[in-house]
A and B are shown apart, each in its own frame.
Chain A
């Protein structure tokens, strides 16, 4: 029985080669200068310097963050009431609603976005920014609803009863009991929405026309068009760092809320 642990060896080899090595390659490319001779490395930080010192790149980064932020806020605003109302339904209806909300998540994102492209073609005067937000919120909303619903459904109903008994009205009970206790759900929703939204480039490209250069677009261009893997790697590292920082702060908020 103990010897069963050997069964994990093939996978350990696999992750070494296909997960760890690629991450190290990104790091290596980010801190070296171009030239395809892989035997001599010129270590440098100029890839990062180039990004930070160029206002255009900074603008791209800020646009990505702004779009991700607005998307996340919209998902919370639309998703929270939905999650709350679902949690108030009977057990059977809850299962049905959750199934209905998760079903479209199994359908190819490109195809769903393409469908929006067809629908939004009819609205020429709508700004491309609104179109992008519709596509983004559409794609991410189910994740937010599911996460918040899970948190609310776990809540002890007795707490609400107690709160009513102590004289709080529905609104007060919501603000003082349900909302604070559902913060962990919102946080995990945010990690599932904000983080992927920062790096997304498909929806903005399909729905926003050529108007949006986002950080994902930048990485795409440097890898597949310009062929500058060193700079592309640096940009993706910067993005990964920002995402890590965002995750760290949301966890901190989460802990703050629990205290």
Chain B
């Protein structure tokens, strides 16, 4: 018994160390975003100057704006194309499905830099000027595979008979799709969209090669910065808070809905 307690103590300590390592830079950045000097060593006093400096830095604000716009557009488009494609693929012949899924996996398995230079070569050799448009197309391209990979397994668990029954009862195929199939795969679509958003929001390598000179997202902005600028700490701190809120909500909303549904079931 004594020994068991000791191992539990040791393993708990180890896990705390690992968590400390994982959260060290995050907490560090949050703390020093409130520092009133440029130092990253000494916390000399509380101030909001780096937040002010962030909101008065046009390049940085511009990069945040682009990052959000591109992530929203790429998520919306890739979720629609991906959902439609996944439903189509689930009914396609096996050989077509296998081939398409193999190709679909390429951007997931390939190193980002290979996907990136491939798209860059495509745009350049078609003489398409690299801009926010090519950047968004590139993002849609690498987001769709994740949407499909998230939805397809769910689709294949569905009972086809339910949609068939709806159509036998007079529903048009479109109605069967929107009233019967879509509601059943909603959670998978949602998690696919969440992954797509975060992939787009965080991307550096593919953006770097497909954006050209006139657009920068957050990652490109940080990469191109020559000297250390603590305003980035303020930006990171805000993003950490946003990510935490979104993830907590994403985990909480389904749980709350569940509870509500169960309650309603009990009441009726």
Query: Given A21-B122, A195-B111, A202-B223, list of 9 further CB < 8 A pairs?
Result: A11-B82, A17-B122, A25-B122, A26-B117, A86-B15, A122-B40, A196-B112, A223-B117, A240-B110
Task: Assess A11 versus B107: contact at CB under 8 Å? Given A25-B118, A108-B239, A118-B32.
Answer: no
Stretch at the interface among B19-27, B51-59, B183-191: B19-27
Interface string of A199-237 (1 = CB under 8 A from B): 101100110000000001001100110000100110010
Task: Assess A106 versus B243: contact at CB under 8 Å? Given A4-B87, A122-B40.
Answer: yes
Question: Using a CB-CB cutoff of 8 Å, which residues 1-39 of chain B contact chain A?
Answer: 11-12, 14-15, 18-19, 21-26, 28-29, 32
Residue A168 CB within 8 A of the other chain: no
The residues of B with any CB-CB pair to A shorter than 8 Å are 11-12, 14-15, 18-19, 21-26, 28-29, 32, 40-41, 81-82, 84-85, 87-93, 96, 100, 103-104, 106-107, 109-115, 117-122, 124-125, 137-138, 141, 144, 148, 160, 163-164, 167, 173, 176-177, 198, 201-202, 204-205, 209, 218-219, 222-223, 228, 230, 232-233, 235-236, 239-240, 243-244, 247, 251
> Which residues of chain B have C-beta atoms less than 8 A from A236's C-beta?
113-114, 117
Once the chains bind, are B235 and A229 in contact (CB under 8 Å)? no
> Which residues of chain A have C-beta atoms less than 8 A from B223's C-beta?
110, 202, 205-206
Task: State how many angstroms separate the Cβ of B113 from the closest Cβ of chain A.
Answer: 5
Task: Assess A8 versus B100: contact at CB under 8 Å? Given A1-B173, A25-B125, A115-B29.
Answer: yes
Once the chains bind, are B118 and A26 in contact (CB under 8 Å)? yes
Task: Assess A29 versus B121: contact at CB under 8 Å? Given A5-B92, A116-B25.
Answer: yes
> Which residues of chain B have C-beta atoms less than 8 A from A19's C-beta?
103-104, 106-107, 118, 141
Task: State how many angstroms separate the Cβ of A209 from the closest Cβ of chain B.
Answer: 12
> Which residues of chain A have C-beta atoms less than 8 A from B205's C-beta?
202
Task: Assess A1 versus B160: contact at CB under 8 Å? Given A11-B88, A104-B26, A110-B219.
Answer: yes
Once the chains bind, are B236 and A114 in contact (CB under 8 Å)? yes
Instruction: Report Cα–Cα, A198/B96, bound state, in Å.
Output: 32
Once the chains bind, are B117 and A11 in contact (CB under 8 Å)? no
Task: State how many angstroms separate the Cβ of B241 from the closest Cβ of chain A.
Answer: 11
> Which residues of chain A have C-beta atoms less than 8 A from B120's C-beta?
223
The residues of A with any CB-CB pair to B shorter than 8 Å are 1-12, 14-15, 17-23, 25-26, 29, 38, 78, 81-82, 84-86, 88, 97, 99-101, 103-104, 106-112, 114-119, 121-122, 138, 141-142, 145, 195-196, 198-199, 201-202, 205-206, 216, 219-220, 223-224, 229, 232-233, 236, 239-240, 243
Once the chains bind, are A7 and B21 in contact (CB under 8 Å)? no
Closest 9 CB pairs of A and B: A8-B88, A22-B118, A7-B88, A11-B85, A199-B111, A115-B25, A85-B11, A5-B92, A110-B219
Q: Pick from B90, B118, B173, B219: contact of A3, CB below 8 A.
A: B173
> Which residues of chain B have C-beta atoms less than 8 A from A101's C-beta?
18-19, 22
In the complex, residue of chain B having the shortest beta-carbon distance to the beta carbon of A15: B103
Once the chains bind, are B18 and A26 in contact (CB under 8 Å)? no
> Which residues of chain B have C-beta atoms less than 8 A from A10's C-beta?
81, 84-85
Q: Pick from A117, A121, A233: contact of B117, CB below 8 A.
A: A233
In the complex, residue of chain B having the shortest beta-carbon distance to the beta carbon of A23: B118
Task: State how many angstroms separate the Cβ of B230 from the closest Cβ of chain A.
Answer: 8
Once the chains bind, are B29 and A118 in contact (CB under 8 Å)? yes
Instruction: Report Cα–Cα, A77/B26, bound state, in Å.
Output: 23
> Which residues of chain B have C-beta atoms less than 8 A from A97's C-beta?
15
Task: State how many angstroms separate the Cβ of B242 from the closest Cβ of chain A.
Answer: 9
Instruction: Report Cα–Cα, A51/B200, bound state, in Å.
Output: 33
Once the chains bind, are A22 and B115 in contact (CB under 8 Å)? yes
Q: Pick from A3, A14, A23, A119: contact of B144, CB below 8 A.
A: A14
> Which residues of chain B have C-beta atoms less than 8 A from A206's C-beta?
223
Once the chains bind, are A103 and B81 in contact (CB under 8 Å)? no
Once the chains bind, are A85 and B121 in contact (CB under 8 Å)? no
In the complex, residue of chain B having the shortest beta-carbon distance to the beta carbon of A229: B121
Which of B25, B114, B138, B198 has the most chain A CB within a 10 Å cutoff?
Answer: B25
Q: Pick from A12, A109, A223: contact of B100, CB below 8 A.
A: A12
Q: Pick from B137, B163, B251: contact of A1, CB below 8 A.
A: B163
Instruction: Report Cα–Cα, A97/B16, bound state, in Å.
Output: 10
Which of A17, A25, A121 has the most chain B CB within a 10 Å cutoff?
Answer: A25
Once the chains bind, are A11 and B81 in contact (CB under 8 Å)? yes
> Which residues of chain B have C-beta atoms less than 8 A from A220's C-beta?
113
For this complex, 26 residue pairs linking A to B, each with C-beta atoms less than 8 Å apart, are A1-B176, A5-B91, A8-B92, A10-B84, A22-B118, A22-B121, A23-B118, A104-B22, A106-B198, A108-B218, A108-B219, A108-B239, A109-B219, A111-B29, A111-B236, A112-B236, A114-B236, A115-B26, A115-B233, A138-B21, A196-B111, A202-B223, A229-B124, A240-B110, A240-B114, A243-B111
